[in-house]
Structure 1
Amino acid sequence: MNLLDRESYIHKMKNNFLFVLFMTSMTCWGQTAASTRHWVFLHEAVFESPSWSPQRGQAALTPAAVERRLRQNIPLRATDYPLSSAALTQVRATGAEIYRTSRWLRAVSVVATPAQLEVLRTMPGVAHIQPVAKLTQTVAEIHPHAAPSSHPEEGVQSYNYGQSLDQVNQINLIPLHNAGYAGAGINIALMDAGFTGADVHSAFTGAWSQGRIVLTHDFVDNDTNVFQVGSHGMSVLSTMCADLDGTFVGTAPEANYFLFRTEDELSETLVEEDNWVVASEWADSLGVDVINTSLGYTTFDNGIGDHSYADLDGKTTVISRAATAAARTGMIVVVAAGNEGASSWKYISCPADADSILSIGAVDGMDLRAGFSSQGPTSDGRIKPDLGARGVSATIMKSSGQVGTGSGTSFASPITCGAMACLLQAVKANQSTYDIQDILNVVRQNASQASKPDTLLGWGVPNFSAALSAMGLEEGQTVPTWALHPSGSAYLLRRLRPTASVTVYRYDGTGRLLEEFALEPGLGAIELRSFPGVTLLHLVGDEEEVLKVPAF
């Protein structure tokens, strides 16, 4: 199935949707990241009527986000729709300032006085109030020396990796690149600290010239300038995006990137969790496929007391709940496990404890776990981390614009994230429908210690070529069942091979069902009705497929 033309897609996102995101997720622009804030969790029906449902409105999703759900058979849920306007009006009536809104949590973060909080607590539609946690980052040191010379590359390859050859080859990703799967058409969002240098350093020139740095937003300062206040995010980005022939090539050099600054690298390493939650919801709404976050959190001030190991169950901290929610929208979420393995804490950080995501530990060039790499299990007994990748002397771009090395799960995570984008590209090119949890499980089951996973490196170092083969994708694209052909001023839906009975559901770009009809068994074609705008066909029979119908 063909993707939307990139230029048309970017134009639609920027001009038709970003204003809605700004208005629904951020309303208090004057507050700083240091302000004390509280989450207010809402029972919205109390403010509306007992029969009220958020799904009566329009989902806060672009066509790309709706398509991602359809291709994974994920229905639209209440959490895909904005919060009740009546509820927001009543919260503001107390004098509290709404800073963020979260459709996933059905909550708002507010800046409020103690008296205003007391008024909110007495409101029948308020379920619960708790402080917004301030999370302490564990940021890996970027070693200030040049990367060592790489081994000579042998054979014919799509890229001349230079100094990053070892970390790309370690996860057996080169066969995917050689097959044409380098992340093209896959949208990756990075939630990180400052991206200083990403707008000028040579590693990113190609991405900028090709329009693959799609969107930037600073959730700390509430503007679009992420190229300031630290360069950690830039170094993380380089492990995926870099394309310096013969010097440094990342794991997804052809992907599209959304750069979100959610952490203040210079403010005593404190970040407030509502920034991360809203950035993740933006990623979902904009049609992002893969999320990476390389800054984990091991302690926080929640106004009650620091969290304990018992809280690492994927359900207690807000940021981990949001990571799970992100995965359940069909995005692949990749998270650094943390760098506390040699400390008294030793365990993974938040949100690496979340369910349905990949948490990544660090290994050296011999596949041995780094001593600093945080370990599991989660407090409810799940194996974490899931995988390990190069996190000892990983090749990165330094703040100076020179290629060097850095250590930490901060770099193991994006190296893996970029590889997941390449694998997802292969899946989407060959399959109309897919399930990201199946993809994650295939990667785990083809990793270096899949037969005996542990709580130090999980299933081990991934082998992406083996995962590709296990999914039956190494032979190239399969023959499709369906095709769309222009016919005068309409389109014909044709079957390229016989099928059993098929039910066709047709949706607009917001996920609203336009029509439903059945096709009899056989090879017959059908002329499609005209609807304004791009529409999506979900064909359900012995197999499922999703097709995009251009406007006509």
Structure 2
Amino acid sequence: MNTFVKTNTILRLTTFICLIIVANTFIANAQGDGYLVSFSDKNHSEYSLDKPLAFLSARAIERRVKQNIAITQEDLPVSSYYTDSLKRLGISVKHTSKWLNAAIVFSSDQELMDTLSRVSFITSLEKTKAPTTASSSIKKDPIISDVLKSEAVNDYGAAWTQISTINGHKLHEKDLKGKDIHIAVIDAGFDSADQLPSLLHLWDNNQILGTKDFVDPNSNIFNENDHGMMVLSIMGGHIPGTYMGTAPDASYWLIRSEDAGSETPIEADYWVCAAEFADSAGVDIINSSLGYYKFDAPFNSYTYADMIGTTRASHAASIAASKGMLVVVSAGNEGSSSWKYIGAPADASNILSIGAMQSDSTRASFSSYGPTFDQRLKPELTALGYKTAVQSTNGGIRLGNGTSFSAPVVAGMAACLWQALPEYTSNEIMDIIIASCHNVLKPDYSLGNGVPDFNLALKTDIPFIETQDKTWRVSPNPFKGKLTIQNMNTSALNGAVRVSLYDLVGKLKISKAYENKNCFELDQLSHLPSGLYLLLIENGNDRQHFKVMKQ
């Protein structure tokens, strides 16, 4: 910014402040209403891209370097020049969001806030929360059965079904239990997580990396809602001979973004801040068993038309994924309601939203349906969310229902897979998981790509698993601009051969038919984005598929 423009900006701001002081002899300090204030730029920032350690941890920088992800203006914190200006007006600045370039603020002076919307460096102002007398510690427990007695036939006990249905125990047998993977649990509270039996080893082994509360920084998250504690137990829990989570050796950040006593848009904004914090702390995987579509004030609620990945939380989820984190979220529990569909941030692009199934791999009745309003496949996949074994606050193990519980089943196993494949990017890990699903060639809006098989994912010599009868040879793999397809058994040909290439959400990218050819090329593929694809070869009644990787 040149000196003239900067000077004019300062003069306008000074004049504005003087007018406010004259017009208001007293500015209330009460918390008042919550607002999201969006800024026009990040000018006057004390941070610079050539000194990233000032705003990102070494681990966050390492993740970006490893996955060839640039540090950009989006990573720079909000300019304190702007937030300090708000504070001088008596406005309480609670949190800032670098990805949204915005601040979560509180003020009881409506006239002041109305005037603020006309300040040059503020692009928008939205009220996100009105005062409430509700207690933030109100419980919103999922449906849970009576306390279980230990019926352990192995080290998993009641958790055996949720692990075995996705072949997670096969990774555990190889001592792949999430070691050195950092997971952020973004939730509503972690009641008693510091003293319950299945979680004690996390504390004893320094696997709890820290806590952060965006709802009330002065609260004790271990006295808040127990939902996050149960989610944590599904991943990190372990009682020898009685219970084992999906990633008992992983390390965890416990982050509270949800006020269980209300449902307002500000909670989605807290979620954004929580995801940013996870990124800055160097987290590898985010698990969030939260979702938004209906708020206490109906006029704030989303419509299905909003489910296109652009609400603030959904936008932030996609940004989090772009920073090299694997983002795993619950699809939602509205499958039996009039809403029916997934919520936010489950509608985000480039993340895994997880539906809930029963032990027989059929959809749980409450599990939310896809697609997004813009017709993208959701959920991406499904895991056990009906009668899922979780830690109870009374010390025992209970069974709970909800996509809140199917998401951490997947997130924990993803940590185990990533431990085994540390050289892979978050996108590649996500692609492998999706490709292992039982319904990947014919996904639907109920189970998505279906149930993942983590043992298959582990065995995947990415990017390719040949079918057992090697009628066809596909090369090169990985490919750049074309694939050569050769028939290894010419007598098996039965008329025309059709070759179709699909992306991992089931969208057809190219399809061609070849007559009387044993060897042919599928070309003009250079324009395709890098990633994993599914190649389907059809000849008469014979159908074979291959996984291929575009460089």
Task: State the TM-score, normalizing by the size of structure 2.
Answer: 0.73
CA drift at 1:302 = 7.5
CA drift at 1:185 = 0.6
Task: Give CA-to-partner distance per residue, 1:444-498, whole Å, 9 cap, x none.
Answer: 1110111101111110111111111114599xxxxxxxxxxxxxxxxxxxxxxxx
Task: Give CA-to-partner distance per residue, 1:244-273, whole Å, 9 cap, x none.
Answer: 111110000000011112222244798622
Which residue number in structure 2 is paired with residue 465 of structure 1? 455
Conservation of the 8 A alpha-carbon contact between 1:43 and 1:125: yes
Conservation of the 8 A alpha-carbon contact between 1:263 and 1:271: no
Instruction: Map 1:38-437; keep pairs closer than 5 Å.
Output: 38-44=35-41, 48=44, 55=49, 58=52, 59-112=54-107, 113-132=109-128, 141-147=142-148, 152-153=153-154, 160-223=155-218, 225-267=220-262, 272-300=267-295, 305-315=300-310, 317-428=311-422, 431=423, 434-437=424-427
Task: Give CA-to-partner distance per residue, 1:192-251, whole Å, 9 cap, x none.
Answer: 112112111110111111010110122222036211122111111111111111111000
Query: What is the identity, as a one-letter code, of the residue corresponding to 1:413?
Result: A
SS in 1 for 2:293: strand
The range that moved more, 412-421 or 216-225, is 216-225
CA drift at 1:64 = 0.5
CA distance in 1, matches of 2:186, 2:290: 8
Q: Tell me: CA distance 1:388–1:259, structure 2 relative to 1, closer, same or farther (3 Å).
A: same
SS in 2 for 1:421: helix
Q: Tell me: CA distance 1:166–1:179, structure 2 relative to 1, closer, same or farther (3 Å).
A: same
CA distance in 1, matches of 2:248, 2:113: 48
Query: What is the identity, as a one-letter code, of the residue corresponding to 1:44?
Result: D
CA distance in 2, matches of 1:133, 1:357: 28
SS in 1 for 2:421: helix
Conservation of the 8 A alpha-carbon contact between 1:138 and 1:298: no
Indicate whether 1:454 and 2:444 are aligned: yes
Indicate whether 1:36 and 2:29 are aligned: no
CA distance in 1, matches of 2:461, 2:260: 40
SS in 1 for 2:443: coil
SS in 2 for 1:319: helix
Q: Tell me: CA distance 1:206–1:247, structure 2 relative to 1, closer, same or farther (3 Å).
A: same
Q: Tell me: CA distance 1:199–1:467, structure 2 relative to 1, closer, same or farther (3 Å).
A: same
SS in 1 for 2:231: helix
Q: Tell me: CA distance 1:148–1:205, structure 2 relative to 1, closer, same or farther (3 Å).
A: closer
Q: Tell me: CA distance 1:151–1:197, structure 2 relative to 1, closer, same or farther (3 Å).
A: closer
SS in 1 for 2:451: coil
Conservation of the 8 A alpha-carbon contact between 1:57 and 1:81: no
CA drift at 1:369 = 0.3
Query: What is the identity, as a one-letter code, of the residue corresponding to 2:445?
Result: T
The range that moved more, 138-147 or 209-218, is 138-147
Conservation of the 8 A alpha-carbon contact between 1:229 and 1:264: no
SS in 1 for 2:230: helix
Conservation of the 8 A alpha-carbon contact between 1:443 and 1:462: yes
Which residue number in structure 2 is paired with residue 12 of structure 1? none
Q: Tell me: CA distance 1:301–1:42, structure 2 relative to 1, closer, same or farther (3 Å).
A: farther
Q: Tell me: CA distance 1:57–1:71, structure 2 relative to 1, closer, same or farther (3 Å).
A: closer
Task: State the TM-score, normalizing by the size of structure 1.
Answer: 0.73
Q: Tell me: CA distance 1:426–1:138, structure 2 relative to 1, closer, same or farther (3 Å).
A: farther
SS in 1 for 2:62: helix
The range that moved more, 300-309 or 453-462, is 300-309
CA distance in 2, matches of 1:420, 1:63: 23
CA drift at 1:83 = 1.6
Look at both structures and tell me which one has the larger radius of gyration over its CA atoms: 2
Task: Give CA-to-partner distance per residue, 1:65-113, whole Å, 9 cap, x none.
Answer: 0001111100101121112222223333443221211111111122232
Q: Tell me: CA distance 1:393–1:37, structure 2 relative to 1, closer, same or farther (3 Å).
A: same
CA distance in 1, matches of 2:252, 2:243: 18
CA distance in 1, matches of 2:47, 2:171: 45
Larger RCO of the pair (alpha carbons < 8 Å, separation 6+): 1
CA distance in 2, matches of 1:293, 1:353: 13
CA distance in 1, matches of 2:413, 2:351: 15
Conservation of the 8 A alpha-carbon contact between 1:138 and 1:297: no
Conservation of the 8 A alpha-carbon contact between 1:181 and 1:422: yes
Task: Give the gaps of 5 or more residues in structure 2.
Answer: 1-28, 131-135, 465-551
Q: Tell me: CA distance 1:347–1:140, structure 2 relative to 1, closer, same or farther (3 Å).
A: farther
Query: What is the identity, as a one-letter code, of the residue corresponding to 2:453?
Result: N
SS in 2 for 1:40: strand
Query: What is the identity, as a one-letter code, of the residue corresponding to 1:387?
Result: L
SS in 1 for 2:405: helix
CA distance in 1, matches of 2:96, 2:296: 21
CA distance in 1, matches of 2:427, 2:269: 26
CA distance in 1, matches of 2:297, 2:72: 29
CA distance in 2, matches of 1:265, 1:256: 25
- The two structures, once aligned, show a CA RMSD in angstroms of 2.8
Query: What is the identity, as a one-letter code, of the residue corresponding to 2:336?
Result: A
**Paired residues, number:** 429
CA drift at 1:140 = 6.2
CA distance in 2, matches of 1:400, 1:102: 37
Query: What is the identity, as a one-letter code, of the residue corresponding to 2:404?
Result: S
Task: Give CA-to-partner distance per residue, 1:377-406, whole Å, 9 cap, x none.
Answer: 001110001111111101111121111100
CA distance in 2, matches of 1:244, 1:461: 26
SS in 2 for 1:459: coil
SS in 2 for 1:227: helix
CA distance in 2, matches of 1:266, 1:401: 24
Task: Give the gaps of 5 or more residues in structure 1.
Answer: 1-29, 154-159, 475-552
Which residue number in structure 1 is paired with residue 435 of structure 2? 445
